[in-house]
Chains A and B, each alone.
Chain A
Amino acid sequence: MCGIVGLYLKKKKLHNKLGFYLSGMLDNMSSRGPDSAGFAIYNNKQSKKYYKYSLCLNKILSSELEQDIKKIFKDIIIKNISDHVVVYTSATPKKFISYIQRNFSKISLVGYGRSIEIFKQVGNPKEIVKKFKLEKFSGSHAVGHTRMATESAITVDGSHPYSTGEDECLVHNGSLSNHNNLRRQLIKQGKNFDSFNDTEVAAGYISQKLSENQSMKKTLTECLTDLDGFYTFIAGTNKGFAVLRDEIACKPAVIAENNDYVAVASEFQAMAHLPYVNKSNIYEPKPGVVYTWGK
């Protein structure tokens, strides 16, 4: 099953409500995915100064990380949120990621970029939303996921959103059947994968295309021929997000759009709490059609 949600705020004055709205959306989708949950928040506040690295500590103490990290990198800010930390630093991904991989192999990097922050955890989404204090987050847009595990284990590694590129993320409702083949092809092209999950492969596929300067619209259109299986995707970048349903369209999605925001979710009940939603333009995304929002 799984539940996916996305919220894009068109007006700056609403940005401080992003986390509050999204937490309600994830809460209402816990019935579709009780095993784990995660979300990606896009916030450009300090994007010129810092890179942000979202790390899941996996029982490593944050003080241990902080001590070590401050010896190597200057101008470091560490934000602790439940079992995750977000490290703000001017250090480039190449330097920072290889440092973490070498010195803290148990820590998993769940995402990085100039505006993205990602958090994911195993357990009931209602609890996870509280643990991360999602309602306090602000930003321009966000995507989230509640997981009912089907083809890989219930672990943080198996949870969405998947981020396989700078400021990129993907959430997925469905299952892919050709992910093993595609994973092998992408590994040959130099991509790394941390799990055996099908969605991570789709995320890697999209990142690969975007890194070749291909547009999101074209990339997702090509998913229709290259990805075999069932899917509703929400793919996020620092600019906004895009939605795609496969052509058979077994996996649901509904969109509500008005002057203030665009909300996407697996079911309407995920957005029933949003302001003026009943006066919005509400529709289902058509099968095989790419929808994008953003700057």
Chain B
Amino acid sequence: MGKIEDLDFKKSSLRKINNFLQNINYKNNKRDFTLKNPNGHHAVCAGLTENISVNIKGHVGYYCGGMNQKAHITINGNAGTGLGENMMSGLIHVKGNASQSAGATAHGGTIIVDGDASSRCGISMKGVDIIIKGSVGHMSGFMAQSGTLLICGDAGEALGDSIYETVIYLAGKPKSLGVDCVEKKMNKKDMKKIEDLLKTGKIKNLKANNFKKFGSERKLYNFNIDNISDY
């Protein structure tokens, strides 16, 4: 097992670093780690299972923090495709931008992106809370099933296309809404949820009433014989 100073991609391999972080020895009583020179490597901090915090100094490639459980991962840079894919719990905080499919199929935990996220943000998400301080690209929230997607900026084309029960809160404007995605009325529970998310994301320039709520009209749930010609 490596020592703390080994968490440098210039000195060690991705496999060694991930293996170390995935098998933390609690007797060492060490919970905070710094990861240097990630240089766009893929699958950095994938499959972590313990309540540790990892501070990544630089940009990461695809699937950073994928399948994460409990760990708190901070990325001081940008993240590539599939950030926190299938995450179960824990927290991922990107201080730059995130590429496509951030939070794809993620079941739980929280993802915070300080910048923008590109297309298909929260695609097929299943319970995660995603907080985007900038804007998101096209097809965000595509087939999203559960959880919350909070967007402080604007959204690209076809927001929430074929959405299930994920709730989207949007402060800016959507370029267009996807099939079966509609604006919904806010209630007290929504306001509380937004306030909580703003607190989690340390967002001070917006308030709950700056947001609009979008969700499923639930018209795609059942087969409709009138649509037969569309198949």
Residues of chain A having any CB pair with chain B under 8 Å:
249, 252, 254, 267-273, 278, 282-284, 286-287
Q: Of A267, A278, A283, A287, which one neighbours B61 at CB under 8 angstroms?
A: A267
**Do B80 and A268 touch (CB < 8 A)?**
yes
> Which A residues are CB-close (under 8 A) to B81?
252
Check: B39 CB closer than 8 A to any chain A CB.
Answer: yes
Q: Is the CB of B78 within 8 A of A282?
A: yes
Q: Are A269 and B99 in contact (CB under 8 A)?
A: no
Minimum CB–CB distance for B5 against chain A, Å: 21
CB distance from B48 to the nearest CB of A (A): 21
**Residues of chain B whose beta carbon lies under 8 Å from any beta carbon of chain A:** 39-42, 58-59, 61-62, 77-78, 80-81, 96-97, 99-100, 118-119, 137-138
What's the Cα separation between A151 and B58 when bound, in Å?
36
CA distance A119 to B81 in the complex (A): 31
Known contacts being A267-B80, A268-B61, A284-B99, is A249 close to B39, with CB within 8 Å?
A: no
Q: Are A283 and B40 in contact (CB under 8 A)?
A: no
A287 touching B39, Cβ below 8 Å = no
Q: Are B100 and A249 in contact (CB under 8 A)?
A: yes
Q: Are B100 and A252 closer than 8 Å at their CB atoms?
A: yes
**Given A282-B78, A283-B97, A287-B138, A269–B119 Cβ distance below 8 Å?**
no
**22 pairs of residues in contact across A and B, judged by CB atoms under 8 Å:** A249-B100, A249-B118, A249-B138, A252-B81, A252-B99, A252-B100, A267-B80, A268-B40, A268-B59, A268-B78, A268-B80, A269-B41, A272-B39, A272-B59, A273-B39, A278-B58, A278-B59, A278-B77, A282-B59, A282-B78, A283-B97, A286-B137
CA A282 – CA B78 in complex, angstroms? 8
Whole-angstrom CA separation of A282 from B41 in the bound complex: 16
> Is B61 in contact with A269, judged by CB distance below 8 angstroms?
yes
- CB < 8 Å A-B pair total: 46
Chain B interface helix/strand/loop/mixed: loop
Which 6 interchain pairs have the tightest Cβ spacing? A269-B40, A268-B40, A272-B39, A272-B40, A268-B59, A284-B118
* B138 close to A269 (CB less than 8 A): no
CA distance A267 to B40 in the complex (A): 7
Of listed A271, A278, A284, residue having the most chain B CB within 10 A: A284
Known: A252-B81, A282-B59, A282-B78. A269 touches B39 (CB 8 A): yes
Q: How far apart are A102's CB and chain B's nearest CB, in angstroms?
A: 48
Residues in B with CB closer than 8 Å to A287 are 119, 137-138
Identity of the chain B residue whose Cβ is nearest the Cβ of A269 in the assembled complex: B40
Chain B's nearest CB lies how many Å from the CB of A78?
Answer: 40
- CB neighbours (8 Å) of B41 from chain A are 269
Chain B residues with CB under 8 Å of A267's CB are 40, 61-62, 80
Q: Can you name the residue of chain A whose Cβ is closest to the Cβ of B60?
A: A268
Q: Which residues of B contact A270 (CB under 8 A)?
A: 40
Contacts of A284 in B (CB 8 A): 97, 99, 118
Contacts of B119 in A (CB 8 A): 249, 287
Chain B residues positioned under 8 Å from A273 (CB to CB) = 39
Q: Which residues of B lie under 8 Å from residue A282 when comparing CB positions?
A: 59, 78, 96-97
Closest to A282 in B: B78
List chain A residues, Cβ under 8 A from B138.
249, 287
Q: How far is the CB of A249 from chain B (nearest CB, A)?
A: 6
Residues of A within 8 A of B42 (CB): 269
| Chain A residue at minimum C-beta to C-beta distance from B139 | A248
Q: Which residue of A lies closest to B58 (CB)?
A: A278
Residue of A nearest to B41 (CB): A269
- Nearest chain B CB to A252 CB, angstrom units: 6
The complex places the Cα of A235 from the Cα of B58 at a distance, in Å, of 30
- Give bound CA distance, A282 to B97, whole Å: 9
* Given A249-B138, A268-B61, A278-B58, 5 new contacts (CB under 8 A): A252-B80, A269-B39, A272-B39, A272-B40, A284-B97
Instruction: Specify the chain B residue showing the minimal Cβ separation from A249.
Output: B119
CB distance from B52 to the nearest CB of A (A): 25
For the complex, what is the distance from the CA of A270 to the CA of B80, rounded to whole Å? Answer: 13
Chain A CB within 10 A, most for which of B40, B61, B96, B118: B40
